[in-house]
A and B are shown apart, each in its own frame.
Chain A
Amino acid sequence: MTEPEEGRTAAGAPSPETPLFEARGIIKKFGDFAANDDVGLTIRAGEKHALLGENGAGKSTLVKMIYGVMQPTAGAFYWQGQPTVIHKPAEARALGIGMVFQHFSVFDALTVAENIALALPPQRMRDLARRITEVSEAYGLAIDPRRAVHTLSVGEKQRVEIIRCLLQDPRLLIMDEPTSVLTPQESEMLFRTLDQLAAEGCAILYISHKLEEVRALCDTATILRQAKVVAHCDPRAETALSLAEMMVGSEIGDVEKRGETTAGEVRLKVDRLDLPSASEFAVALKDISLEVRGGEILGIAGVAGEGQSELMEALIGEVAVERNDAILIDGQPAGRANPTRRRRARAAFVPEERNGHGAVGDMTLPENIILSHHSAEGLARGRWLGSWLDFAGAADWARRVREAFDVRSGTENPVATSLSGGNLQKFVVGREILREPGILIVNQPTWGVDAGAATVIRRALIDLAGRGTAVLVISQDLEEIFSICDRIAVIHHGRLSRSYPVAEMTAEKVGLLMGGAHPESTEITDVEAA
């Protein structure tokens, strides 16, 4: 069986000037594509070092090599001045390198203690449980070692990962986008833990594209752009804008915020929607009400897994809700209508998962046009076996979407998987926007896409609202919500708060709602008073 073996131990005592870790001339190629091109990085003990870059700049590839998950094509790592080859994660751990992954490397079916044991040398479970409790108390990361991981919240799963690293007495802790799934308050707690660790001499390599966060936490930064290092700097001496310019290059496009919008009629109304959970792994929706008027954008904020996917399924019509009048499209009840009927009523949808939900990866772009447009846009006529598909029409649609949204692809009509994340997202959003829908509902419109595509998508959503469409945006990205929405509501445990005009909202208030504080309760008034 495959036991992670103990790697070699760290050599020699470091002199104070020797950096803890150094990467020189790292190149990583996948086929002909270079994900890292001559990357250099120097980390000193006790340093909080930010690794900044856009999606696809090569940050994750670099840290996976440092952690031994992948091997560089060329270049070398130095640990305390000694050239070191890290063949596998067990060797990285033996050196004192710990890593908290972006998509957590936890096992849902196992307990907290079992999850942690997998990354440590074999030992008795009882001793391990005791050590877990000790460390979790020392760093304020409360967790019960016996609980099954699938019962934990996202924030708690991250704690499991962090404790797993802390138990290895790390000298270098790599954190890959750790706050993307946390509430602002949880992020604050994480920063205090990281400060404490750094004070004890542990170096932190902090990967993020959130600039304000990096400026608040880190004392050094390395910036990657298109697989290359473009700058080393002190983030505290930079502004968010100057950091962003280094990350993205010259073309920094900001989304033009509209002035006061004149909201029209209510086009989408959800009225006391209840939906029991399909299984114990899903979230039940309780008493959800909202209204979106033509010409406005309503944002729904919330951390991952609070019922966003379930709400999206109910709004698309993938699951029918019990009361037909729980969902009204332009005043017409649609709670029991299937997606096709809702689309005929000029509603349009963009789900979170672009590959496998919003699009079929193995199908071509015209076929993916048919996916959502078959009946609503007349690409299939008639019913049953007699409904012949209009491939020429679909190809024409695909061409128009590619042109309007600058979807770049190698060939004329490629399969969806061959597109980059940003281009595929522009395609699935563009496909719906080109219908000029009355209602557009988008879940995580720019999740995991590059800044250029994100700007294009956000601008298109604002323009669409400007033409009278009611737009509902569900997003975990607070910066996005604040930059494009007119009103904001927060989802927590399958309940939706009332919505607040963006001017009345602050990050703290959203954070409290995300953490479950009830709207209009004293806590919120306290924050407002403070």
Chain B
Amino acid sequence: MILLEPRPQPSRALTLLSPVIAIALTLVAGGLLMAAMGRAPGQALYVYFFQPIHEFWFWLTLPADQAAMWIYTPAEVVVKAIPLALIGAGLAVCFRANVWNIGAAGQYTLGAILGGWIALSAPEDASGLWLVPYLLGGVLAGMAWAAIPAFLKVRFNANEILVSLMLFYVSTQLLDFLVRGPFKDPAGYGFPESRDFGAGLIMPVMVEGTRLHYGVVLAVVACVALWLMMGRTLKGFEVRVIGAAPRAGAFAGFSRARTIWFVLLLSGGLAGLAGALEVSATIQQLQPTISAEYGFTAIIVAFVGRLNPVGAILGALVLGVSFIGGENAQIALKLPKAVTGIFQGMLLFFLLGCDTLIRYRVRLAWAARA
């Protein structure tokens, strides 16, 4: 029988160790899953997790003149990590306030839609300066989409989980309508997609020969700024107090309604920015699907990052590795894409289970009753 005994103080060490244990357990369970599917577990796990890391490590050891040749895989991990870190950091703040914005994928989609509208309205030979209104448009659209659950929660007490999620489904229909209707490329042979964005509206690449773009700077700046806010400023303190004990927040003179607005607009804005960035940097046009699943994976990123905005960078890299590994596995092992989802779900399961250790000591007892 497993007995849980409360610790006098939550363990700081285990707060940081828990994701490591969870990743290890995910690898073990993943290996078992692979074996059950008749694959060699070692090979599968290598392709999924260690190959991207190995390649990254290999790249780090290379002399500078060769490094440029081998940079592609590490850069791809970072490319995946950019939207994940942006959304994950926003969600970390949001979850800290005990506000459950589950519809970041919808805010991401709206960011892509409004950004896309700006990009398609721009002249084809528009200069790079157009990126400023383009990205701002993404932020604003994400904020506007997140304002709906914020308003409905503050004003009518409506559950933000369900409202934000329903709005994700609405956003996919909206995007589908636009790329089949107003945004459709007349010269696109009837395909449901917009024309390609003009060169000025494509995020400039940072490292030649890769897709790594300047969005990485935005992501790091955003994460560090949010980290400072959460740890050092009254605003962050307010968010943490409202999330941990709303009545204590009222006692401190903090407004719960204002906090709900703040965290939803913040996380929505970052998700919208991620959507605009991603479309501009990697897809470069609007399509019916634009990798909106980043919005859901970012939930895991936030938890792996311990609901800490800088932790979200690490979480984003871990999940980025799993995406690249998933793509490798599709090619090398003919494994379906869904396996990536299983790994991600298991990671979150194990993580939440391990988090029990932060507050409780586990004691195994075989003793019979006295």
Contacts and interface: CB of A to CB of B under 8 A. Distances in A.
Given A74-B370, A374-B234, A418-B9, A385 B247 contact: no
B245 interface: yes
B20 interface: no
Contacts of B5: 31
Interface stretch (B189-197, B249-257, B336-344): B249-257
Given A318-B250, A371-B251, A411-B9, A360 B244 contact: yes
Interface in B320-370: 369-370
Contacts of A71: 369-370
Interface string A361-378: 111000100111011000
Contacts of A339: 250-253
A214 B245 CA distance: 38
Contact of B251 (A349, A385, A418): A349
Chain A CB within 10 A, most for which of B232, B234, B241: B234
Contacts of A371: 241, 248, 251-252
Interface residues of A, number: 44
A361 B252 CA distance: 14
B148 interface: no
Contacts of B255: 338
Interface string A57-82: 00000000000000111100000000
A356 interface: yes
Interface string B85-113: 00000000000000000000000000000
Interface in B1-20: 5, 8-10
B248 A358 contact: yes
Given A74-B370, A338-B253, A380 B234 contact: yes
A414 B9 contact: yes
Contacts of B369: 71, 87
A122 interface: no
A353 B237 contact: no
B235 interface: yes
A12 interface: no
A395 B369 CA distance: 46
B233 A388 contact: yes
A74 B369 CA distance: 10
A187 interface: no
Contacts of A316: 250-251
A418 B253 contact: no
Contact of B9 (A318, A370, A387, A415): A415
B237 A359 contact: no
Contacts of A358: 248, 251
Contacts of B232: 388-389
A381 to B, nearest CB: 9
Interface in A138-169: none
A317 interface: yes
Contacts of B237: 367, 370, 374, 380, 389
Contact of B244 (A338, A341, A349, A363): A363
Interface in A93-107: none
Given A360-B244, A360-B248, A385 B235 contact: yes
A361 B233 contact: no
Interface in B202-225: none
A367 B241 CA distance: 10
A384 interface: yes
B163 interface: no
B233 A387 contact: yes
A227 to B, nearest CB: 18
Contacts of A87: 369
A340 interface: yes
B29 interface: no
B370 A72 contact: yes
Nearest to A318: B250
Contact of B253 (A340, A362, A387, A415): A340
Chain A CB within 10 A, most for which of B9, B232, B240, B369: B9
A87 B370 CA distance: 11
B245 A357 contact: yes
B248 A356 contact: yes
B8 A360 contact: no
Contacts of A357: 245, 247-248, 251
Given A71-B369, A72-B370, A415 B10 contact: yes
Nearest to A338: B253
A367 B238 CA distance: 11
Given A338-B253, A385-B233, A411-B9, A353 B247 contact: yes
Contacts of A415: 9-10
B257 to A, nearest CB: 13
B253 A389 contact: no
A341 B251 CA distance: 12
A361 B245 contact: yes
Contacts of A343: 253
A410 interface: yes
A380 B241 CA distance: 15
A371 B254 CA distance: 10
A351 interface: yes
Nearest to A363: B244
Interface in A381-401: 384-389
B253 A410 contact: no
A363 B248 CA distance: 11
B229 interface: yes
A372 B251 contact: yes
A101 B140 CA distance: 55
Contacts of B253: 317, 338-341, 343, 375
Contacts of A363: 240-241, 244
B233 A356 contact: no
A418 B8 contact: yes
Nearest to B241: A360
A414 B8 CA distance: 9
Contacts of A374: 234, 237, 252
Contacts of A367: 237
A367 B255 CA distance: 18
Contacts of B9: 411, 414-415, 418
Nearest to A358: B251
B245 A360 contact: yes
Interface string A283-324: 000000000000000000000000000000100111000000
Contacts of B251: 316, 318, 339, 349, 351, 357-358, 371-372
Chain A CB within 10 A, most for which of B8, B9, B229, B251: B251
A362 B248 contact: no
A384 B8 contact: no
B229 A385 contact: yes
B1 to A, nearest CB: 14
Interface string B134-157: 000000000000000000000000
A359 B233 CA distance: 19
Nearest to A376: B253
Contacts of B244: 360-363
Interface string B155-181: 000000000000000000000000000
Contact of A387 (B234, B247, B250): B234
A410 B7 CA distance: 13
A389 B232 CA distance: 6
Contacts of A338: 253, 255
25 contacts: A31-B5, A87-B369, A317-B253, A318-B247, A318-B251, A338-B253, A340-B252, A343-B253, A351-B247, A357-B247, A360-B248, A361-B244, A362-B244, A363-B241, A380-B233, A384-B235, A387-B233, A388-B232, A389-B232, A389-B233, A389-B234, A389-B237, A411-B9, A414-B8, A415-B10
Q: What 6 A-B pairs come out closest when comparing CB atoms?
A: A339-B253, A340-B253, A387-B234, A380-B234, A318-B250, A357-B247
Given A374-B234, A385-B229, 14 more contacts: A31-B5, A317-B253, A338-B255, A357-B247, A357-B248, A358-B248, A360-B241, A371-B241, A372-B251, A380-B234, A386-B233, A387-B235, A389-B233, A414-B9
